[in-house]
Structures are given as C-alpha cells and as structure tokens.
Chains A and B, each alone.
Chain A
Amino acid sequence: MEKETRVLDEVTIRFAGDSGDGMQLTGGQFTNTSAAMGNDLSTLPDYPAEIRAPKDTTYGVSGFQIHFGTTEINTPGDHCDVLVAMNAASLKVNLRSLIDGGIIIVNTDGFGDKNLKLAGYNQSPLSDGSLSKFQVFQVDITKLTNLALADMNLSQKVVDKTKNFFALGMMYWMFNRTLDNTIQWIQEKFEKKPELIEANTRVMKAGWNYAETTDIFAVKYDVKPAPLTPGKYRNINGNQATALGFVAAAEKANLPLFLGSYPITPATGILEELAYFKNYGVKTFQCEDEIAGITSAIGAAFGGNLAITTTSGPGVALKTEAIGLAVMTELPLVIVNVQRGGPSTGLPTKTEQADLLQAVYGRNGEAPVPVIAASSPSDCFNSAFEASRIALKYMTPVMLLTDGYIANGSEPWLIPEVKDLKEIPVKFRKDPVDYQPYQRDEITLSREWAIPGTPGLEHRIGGLEKHVKTGNINYEPENHHTMISLRAAKVERIANDIPPATVEGDESGELLLVGWGGTYGTIKTAVERKRKEGKSVSQLHLHYINPLPKNLGEVLARYKTILVPEINLGQLIKLLREKFLIPAVGLNKVQGLPFRSIEIEQKIDEILGGKQ
C-alpha cells in the first residue's frame, strides 16, 4: 500500500517513558538526525526529580520534547503534536501537554494491570474511551523487539534496553528521517560490542519496517529543511555553551581558567563539562561548599586567573558575603546563577527567574555588581564570554544569570570562528614605580591588576574600606563616601561599553514586550504570531540588566504600553519602574514552568483588545 505523505511546517514530539527506558537518548538521536537534515529545532528534557524512582510510577517518568521545523524555531514548543508513551505512567503525566487531535503511540506492554495500578489508573485509558479525541496507535513494542532479536541469544535485560530504538525507528519512518546518523552513532558508541551494534540497529530497522508495512500507520509526514544561515552547526545546551564561553574567554584573554564550584542542580553541568577540559589547562576545584567555591575563585583571581564560580540560587545566597569581598577588593570574577525554583530548596529541577533582584541587590552594603542574562541555550556562550570581558576590563565581579530551562534545553548553534571572537585585552601591572593598588583608569575607573609574583608590587587588599589612593585601611567618613560612589560609578560606566537595546518589530507603537533571560524564544514566538495578525506589538529583550542600556528609557517612551513577562512575581518590572517611572504591566507566572507562547499571546490580546 502506498502511504500518503503530508508536509508540515513544524512539529513537536514528546518521547516519554520510565527513567530506565532511554527516552533522553531516543530524543537526542531524533534531534541530531533532524538537525543534520537541516531543520531548525529546540529541545527540552524533563527528568524526574528522583534519581531512581520506583519503576513505572508517575514520578519516575522521563520525557524529552523536540520542536523542529521548516520555519524558525524559538522554543521547545508549548504543546506536543505527538506523544510517544512507553508505559501507562508516562501517558498519564504527559497527556495534558498533547494537543487535541494529536498522535499517541503507546507501547501496549507498558499498560498491563501492574503498570496501570502503579500509574494510578483504575481502568486502561487504551480501552475506556478517554483518549477518543486523539489518534492512538497501539503497538506491542516489547513483543516486536523480542521477535526481532529472537535468534540472537541476548539476555532479556539487553533486549529490554533496545526497545527504545524500536520506537525511534517508527518515528523516523513517520517523519521521513534517515536512519544513517543513528546507525553511525550506534557503531561508534558500541565499537567494542558488535552484538549491541547488531541488536540496536536491527531493532531500529524493525521499528521502521513495522511502521512501513502495518496498516495502522497510513500517513507519514515531511518537515523540510529550514532556511538556516549557512555554516557549521552543533547542538548545544545552555550549560555546555556556558562552559565553552568561559574557555573561549580565557583563551582570548590569554589567561588560565579556574572554576571553584559545589554541585547543585541545575548548574552542575557546567562544572562537569569544564572538569573534562583538562587538556585546555582548565582547573576545576570541587569545593566543600559554595562559599569555598567563590572564595577559592577569588584567590585564583588574586593570582591572575580568569576565575569563575557556578551555582544556583541557594548557592548564590551562600556566596553573598564573598561577592561583597570581590566588589570591595575589585577583583575580576564571574558568578553564574543557573536559576531554579525557589525559595529555599524550592523546585530544584524546575525553572524560574526569581533571582534577579538577588543578583542586582542581594548584598550587604552598597555593593553594585554588573548583571548579564542569557536568553537562550546558545546565547549562554556569548553571555559567558561577555561576562568575562566585563569582569576583566572593569575589575569587578559579574553575575551571569541563566536558568534551568535554557541550561538543559538545547538548540542548533552556528559555531563561531575562533578568529571572529574578540580579543579580551588584559594587562598586569609590572612597574613598581609609584604603584598604588587603588589607582584607577580614568575611563573605566578600574584599578590595576597586580598579581603576586611581581617584584616590587607587594601590597595588601581586603574587605575593609580603603583609602581612595593608597588602598590602606581607612575609616574616614568622606573617604568612605567617595569609595562607595566610585565603585557605583565604575559599574555605571559599563553602560558606555555595551550595545544599545534594540527592538524587534516597530520603532514605536501600541505595545512593547520587555523580557530578559530564558523567555526570549517564547516572547518572540508570541510577538511574531501577533504581528502576523497585524497587531502593533514589538519585542525588546534585555541582556544587560545592570547597568541597563543607555538608550532604554528613550526606547520605552515610544510605546503606549510596556508589558513585562517574567517567571516571577515581577522583578525586572520593579527595576524599570524605579528607573524610568513608567507604569509597566506585568505578566507573571511562577509554576516552575516556562511560559507557553499562547499565554503571552492571550495577554497581548487582552491589552490590545481581541480584534484590532
């Protein structure tokens, strides 16, 4: 039977199963293949919070969502069009993200009495009619996998581990993907285990053939390549991009890279990534706590390294006093906060943007710190690079904010040419004549970096207030005021050194959405959809939050209404109101989840009136 092929602009698929079912791997393979086939895409894994949750329970469900298309893709997708559910629990957990009329592919073997009971179903959703508004494909993946490997004499454990490739094979058929990339990957991955190469390849092909021959699949879909900028790409998540950004900055500054850190979700990935880069001379120091993370980095900065510390909100809370020390000693340092749901331990594996005010204000005393926020997984690279540049040029700690959503989410990244990355000029003071530790550059107001080992520059720094010139301890009232003002002015002057805020959309108009951080893609999707409807709505996304771009006030003034969507109760909006005295409107949601573009679209409609 010749099957029908329909062409789609974009599709979102969610692979879901028990944490032991290999769904991350399956999703990752589908992603790499789709990327190689030229689609634009964005992905988001959804791990269970428990490491080894009991099998087949709802809290052991692991998911992976990929949104890919012929068009520009900015988010992992609000909803999915296709849900692959390897057991009852994964269906239960993920059904609400499936659109009406969407496709469900289930492994019927994962819907036995025991599975249903563990998932909390009284009766099987496959037979009680509750899935009637979806297109359900029931496949006994377990049985078919066993059949495909029947003659191979493999243990049941090994056979079970391959069944995700059956699902992958079916999806490759359904979306007209080549098997070649994954076959090659299997060959490299199991280079030393030929029987696993054979088993996994065979099962994947069996899945593809099954979909091709059985009557239940009548339609396949084609998603043509996207018009991406030519060049070399790789898929990258936010934490990887952050790590690479620092390695690149260290190279461009001609400095060794030092990371002091203590593991914490969702920031650990950066430490893990950098720990692997030993042959780049990167030193990663896994400390006893977050305080040691930052203070060891401060020590390394004093010693002339590009020093960084990575953590999440609770860790920043612990580092607070030491950030003040870096402000006071005017040493270069980057603090990365991969934000997660708070307060306290909060929602460790979920995303949030609620640490913005902590970043800008959260210290004792007048302790200004530049704050930069990354807007997407790949933008973490630029942001880490830029945070390093500012830290080194202005001799200051810099806070870099990312979040769990972009840290784990991934997207294709147009790999930059090393020669196109800007040099970061760094000079150590060498001349002992007239050296004053707190003498400042007239333009940047930054002090000089004089590192131990330099003859004749022996000097002492510390957290006590110091004399404006000599750096000696000084408690005089006027001197303190002068130093406080100088440290503030130094950070303010960074505004002269950052790009102006730019608007995507119209120069002026009814409505401007102002966002920051990981909401970029979602806001963009919403704004573009509304612009297609002819609405006067534009977007401005802030990468620099302290200081704000110099032109921001003037830009904001050109729009009737300013809408600030944030995954918090309104933090950027406070800064904007305070600085520009504008009556901005907030859109706030704090559920541990990213915005869906539809939520932003609804708010736009509400402000502009439904039909306009």
Chain B
Amino acid sequence: MNSLIDSVVSTATVAETKYTAKDFASDQDVRWCPGCGDYSILAQVQRVMPELNVPREKVVVVSGIGCSSRFPYYMNTYGFHSIHGRAPAIASGLKIARPDLSVWVATGDGDGLSIGGNHMIHVLRRNVDINILMFNNQIYGLTKGQYSPTSEMGKVTKTSPVGSVDMPFNPASLALGSGGTFVARSLDRDPKHMQTIVKRAAEHKGTSFVEIYQNCNVFNDGAFFAFTEKETKPDTVVFLEHGKPLVFGKDNDKGIKLDGFSPVVVSLKDGSHSVNDLLVHNEKDSTLAFILANMTYNPELPRPVGIFLAIDRPRYEVEMEKQIDSAISKRGKGSLEKLLNSGDTWVIQ
C-alpha cells in the first residue's frame, strides 16, 4: 500500500553502524532494587542487541506493569510501557501493522500469566513474530510481595499468611500447550546461557517465549538459588542442547533416560547406563518438548533449562499480508471510488 509510513518502513537498511551494548542503554537511571535479577536480564539483552544486525530504530520493547515491565525505559530503542498484562496484545497489533519492526515484550509472572494470561496464550497460538521475555520471580514484586501464579503451593506472603493453596503454572508447559513455536527457559545468574537463548529467540521466526528465572532479592530472595548457585546447580539443572544427550551432575555423572514417556534419572557411574542410553534432545520434536517441560516441579528430576522447542509454523502477520496480496491480485487494488459506489446503486436525475 502506498502510504505515509512507507518511507519509514523502507528505511529498513541493514545496520551499518556497529553498535555496542552501550548504544542500547537509555539515559534513564535504572531504578530496580540493588541486587535485583532484572539488572542481569537488561545487561544480557543490551549485549545481544548489537549482534542481531537490526537497526536500533527498528527495535520496539513493549511491556505491561511490574518491576520487570520498567524494562523499556532502560533500553535506548522505541519503547512502550503500557498497562497491566496487555503487552502481548499491544505488541501483536504493532507487529501486524508493522512487520518491518523487531518487537519485544518484557513481562513478569503476574503481568504475563495472571492478568495478561489470556493475551499470552493467544499470541502464542497465533505465532506473531515477537520475542517475549518473561521475568519469573514467582512473586508480585512491584506491589510488594504477594504470591503470583508461579509461586509454589504453600507460599507464605502478606496475602497468603498461612500459605497459598493454588497450584502454580509451569510457564513452559503453558506456552507449549498454547501452541508456542519457540519455548525456552534461562537463568538470570547465567549470563552466557541467557545471551545464547535471547539471541536464538530473536532469530526465531514466530513468537518466542523465554521464561527467565529472576531473583527478587527483596520479596522472594533465593527462590531459584538451588538452580542458579554453583554448589547446587550441577545436580539440580539439566541443560537442553539440541542433538545432545541429557547429561548433568557435578562430574557429568548423571543422565536422563526415557522410561516409556517418563524421564528418569540414571547414573552414568555405576555401570548400569552409558551416554548411549540417554534421551537425546531434539528441539524440533514437540512431543518431547511436552515431556521435558513436564519435568519442571518434579522433585525427583533436575530442572530443565534451555530451548524446549524451536519449530517453524506460519506466522500470523505473514499470513495476513499474504491474504492482502492475494486479494489485491484477485480483485485489484481497491479504489475508494469503487468501494463507495459498490452494491446496488441508482441515479436520481
């Protein structure tokens, strides 16, 4: 379509400028609590951005409300800090209207899965090409520490003085169940891993859903320490790598084997199993993705971290453009004159 925005859309030159992470830092003071995991996420995203070869003016970060949703203010890109839970819908509209943009969503476990849960599942099934970073701190940070839809059962907070009685979501399973085509999990305290995942998310064509375990050191300190700290991490986390067997443990002495559809831990040390017996990750296998995601919260199993699924499926905004193109080629580019004069008309002399 010929329109005013064409000139803006078509300035889509490949970034000639060599950006550094600093180019993506805005002039605003970052106001998260000292020690908050959000700092790390911001740093990793700013580090990855220059590698994406996207002109800075083409990047838009949309967020809802929450500590995590302050994210856009700190990015020197276009940004939209919206209302609680609605970022996926705003981002969808923006991406559909402007497929030339690189659209990101920063959201929290409350923002993205509670008040905005409906938009989240729908953007995933539509597979709009946006990148969603879900900062999971298992708590409502901004409102000062109420339990969230990812808080573990029995969570004691000000609004659940004797413990919460609701079952938490497993975000990865929810995203897969919604038809997500890129579903991953990373850790605030594993910068390298997060950079890899964020980069892969950016490269994925379709909705990317990245759950990031994020420490809220004020209201839910240490919620993920078992998975993020040096001492425990090797035995509590299994990293998913495409084409590689699921090995974990301090000395790579344990692995995950499939027993029917159930993953079980086996020892690679006692001679009963070898690496060849282990489950080999395949991020293109959506059935496997469900099995792996379902390991989450199973106390017998290590926590899976990495890319559960990365598959291609038609993207909403691309399919829509195709329909428009096909309508134009079939019916001709619409003229207002013709449109106004369509239907049964008659002339009064």
Interface residues of A (CB under 8 A from B): 32, 35-36, 38, 181, 185, 225, 228-236, 244, 247-248, 251, 253-256, 258, 260, 277-281, 283, 285, 287-289, 291-292, 295-300, 302-305, 307, 321-322, 324-325, 329, 415-416, 418, 426, 428, 451-464, 472-473
Contact = CB atoms under 8 A, between A and B. Distances in A.
B101 A452 contact: yes
A451 B6 CA distance: 12
B14 interface: no
Interface centre among A234, A459, A460 (most CB of B within 10 A): A460
Nearest to B57: A455
A185 B340 CA distance: 20
A585 to B, nearest CB: 39
B349 A230 contact: yes
A225 B349 CA distance: 11
B346 A296 contact: no
Interface string B328-349: 1011111011011111111111
A462 B82 CA distance: 5
Nearest to A281: B1
B321 to A, nearest CB: 9
B79 A459 contact: yes
A542 to B, nearest CB: 26
Nearest to B24: A458
A297 B93 contact: yes
Contacts of B28: 472-473
A233 B93 contact: no
Contacts of A256: 1, 3, 5, 97
A234 B97 contact: no
Given A255-B5, A292-B86, A461 B57 contact: no
27 contacts: A231-B347, A232-B341, A233-B345, A234-B341, A248-B336, A256-B97, A258-B96, A279-B331, A280-B336, A283-B96, A285-B92, A287-B89, A287-B122, A292-B122, A295-B89, A299-B91, A300-B94, A300-B96, A302-B94, A303-B5, A321-B83, A415-B340, A452-B57, A452-B101, A453-B5, A453-B9, A473-B28
Given A260-B89, A281-B324, 11 more contacts: A278-B323, A279-B331, A279-B333, A280-B339, A283-B97, A292-B119, A295-B86, A298-B93, A302-B94, A455-B56, A460-B72
Contacts of B118: 288-289, 292
B318 to A, nearest CB: 13
A254 B94 contact: no
Contact of A458 (B65, B76, B101, B330): B76
A233 B347 contact: yes
Nearest to A275: B323
A382 B58 CA distance: 36
Contact of B93 (A296, A454, A460): A296
B162 interface: no
B26 A460 contact: yes
B90 A295 contact: yes
- Closest CB pairs A-B (n = 9): A296-B93, A462-B81, A299-B93, A299-B94, A460-B79, A280-B334, A278-B327, A281-B1, A300-B97
A463 B101 contact: no
Nearest to B62: A299
Interface string B68-91: 000011011111111100100111
A415 B76 CA distance: 49
Given A304-B8, A472-B28, A473-B73, A260 B93 contact: yes
A68 to B, nearest CB: 14
Nearest to B9: A453
B177 to A, nearest CB: 15
B114 to A, nearest CB: 14
Contacts of A416: 340
Contact of B57 (A235, A296, A418, A454): A454
Contacts of A277: 334, 339
Contacts of B2: 254
Nearest to A288: B122
B153 interface: no
Contacts of A453: 5, 8-9, 11-12, 57-58, 98, 100-101
A572 to B, nearest CB: 30
B90 to A, nearest CB: 4
Interface in B290-340: 320, 323-324, 327-328, 330-334, 336-337, 339-340
B179 interface: no
A464 B73 CA distance: 11
Contact of A35 (B5, B89, B96, B346): B346
Contacts of A229: 348
B55 interface: yes
Nearest to B85: A291
A455 B77 CA distance: 10
Contact of B336 (A247, A255, A258): A247
B78 to A, nearest CB: 4
A303 B118 CA distance: 23
Given A415-B341, A458-B56, A426 B90 contact: no
Nearest to A419: B337
B336 A451 contact: no
A43 to B, nearest CB: 13
Contacts of B72: 460, 462
A472 B8 CA distance: 24
A428 B4 CA distance: 8
B83 A322 contact: yes
A307 B93 contact: yes
B93 A325 contact: no
Nearest to A325: B83
A187 to B, nearest CB: 14
B8 A418 contact: no
Interface centre among B2, B73, B75, B89 (most CB of A within 10 A): B89
Interface in B88-134: 89-98, 100-101, 118-119, 121-122
